[in-house]
Amino acid sequence: MKISMNRLKEIDRDGMWDNLIDFPDHWQKAMDFTRGVDWSVDRKKIQNICMSGMGGSAIGADLISAYSLNNCEVPVQVNRSYDLPGWVDSNTLFVACSFSGNTEETLTALEKAKERGAQIVAVTSGGKLLVEASREGYGYVKIPGGMPPRAALAYSFVPLYRLFDYLGYTAGGEKALEETAVMLRQQVSMLSNTDDNQALVIAREIQDTLPIIYTGSGLMEPVGLRWRCQFEENSKVLAYGNTVPEMNHNEIVGWEQTAHLTGRLSVILLEDMDDHQKVKQRMQIVRELVEDLTVYTIRLQTTGESRLARQFSLVQLGDWVSLYLAIINEVDPTPIAKIDLLKSRLAEF
């Protein structure tokens, strides 16, 4: 069923639609302004990488960590905390990821990384983080501001891709970025067709349900996280997720007691061609075991040649599903009232 653009604009008062339409342009611009960045990093000293961020500022770190897993020769951890792992030291590359530059958890972790002598780089649009990076001489990339952090994913991710490519931890190089740019542009032309498209169909099917997203534990794991976060922030609905094979050893049993949730659950399985063969088999079995207990179950496959294009094919699809679900629910996808309220309450302490 078609969604009229007039109705969409009435609900989407703050312009999340425009941000999604512009995502391919963001990607191209990020490619352009990150060429030749001087990271001021001593590669020989790096024995581990700690990337610190929260929410929409951290998802790019999750995605590059999963993308580079097969090529990165040092351990990588995404840190979502005021504290740091005990192993962070002078042999650590600490990457501060804060869209606003004022994320208190990230700034606190940064100070601890500085005390421990870690090499530090930053990705931010401004704020205290940019001031600190400029003053201390850290390598940094200044990205455009003026949008919700979750809508700035291209700007947050591409600099991290450049950094990991500079360190020799990716296999795709410039070609993967370019292929992904083409794929995103082609895909957005289809997903923005409000007469009929895959994202709109999925959004209608999962309306009034708790969406549960299952993925493998590699390339797709942060994509599942992105779907959940976008449902929560854009659509204002709770979402849940887990990974295969881990959920086969515990969570699958929990499906035995879901009679009271009849008509309230939907399952989305995100899959990639490089998933382990046993994971593919397990995903098929999971679908068979839960399908009769859900309103809607669907398996979605990545598209594209490079790992990067495949990863972002489902990232972008999920973003559009969350937008259409927000419109169907008649909620403006941009405001995050509960987060704003939480921050104001914290300020009282």
For position 2, what pLDDT does the model report?
A: 77
Digit-coded pLDDT (tens) for 238-279:
999 999 999 999 999 999 999 999 889 999 999 999 999 999
Q: Residues 42-57, buried b or exposed e (16+ Cβ, 10 A)?
A: eeeebebbbbbbbbbb
Q: For position 50, what pLDDT does the model report?
A: 98
- Considering 44, 249, 330, 348, which one is annotated as catalytic? 249
Q: Does domain 5-9+180-328 have CATH number 3.40.50.10490?
A: yes
Q: pLDDT at position 1, please?
A: 61
Under CATH, what is the fold of the domain 34-171?
A: Rossmann fold (3.40.50)
Domain ranges of the chain: 5-9+180-328, 34-171
- Catalytic (active site) residue 249: yes
Catalytic, 343? Answer yes
pLDDT reported for residue 138: 95
CA distance 325 to 321: 6
Tell me what the pLDDT averaged over the chain comes to. 96
For residue 288, the model assigns a pLDDT of: 97
Same fold, 5-9+180-328 and 34-171: yes
Ranges of the chain whose pLDDT falls below 50: none
DSSP 193-260: -TTS-HHHHHHHHHTTSEEEEEEESSTTHHHHHHHHHHIIIII----EEEEETGGGGTHHHHGGG-GG
Catalytic hit among 2, 9, 175, 343: 343
**What is the model's pLDDT at position 104?**
96
The rounded distance, in Å, linking the Cα atoms of 218 and 7 is: 39
Q: What is the pLDDT of residue 40?
A: 86
Cα–Cα distance, 206 to 321 (Å, whole number): 10
Q: Quick check: 265 and 212 in contact, CB under 8 A?
A: yes
**pLDDT confidence of residue 340:** 92
Q: Which of 132, 221, 233, 271 is catalytic?
A: 233
| Residue 338 appears among annotated catalytic residues | no
Query: What is the model's pLDDT at position 349?
Result: 87
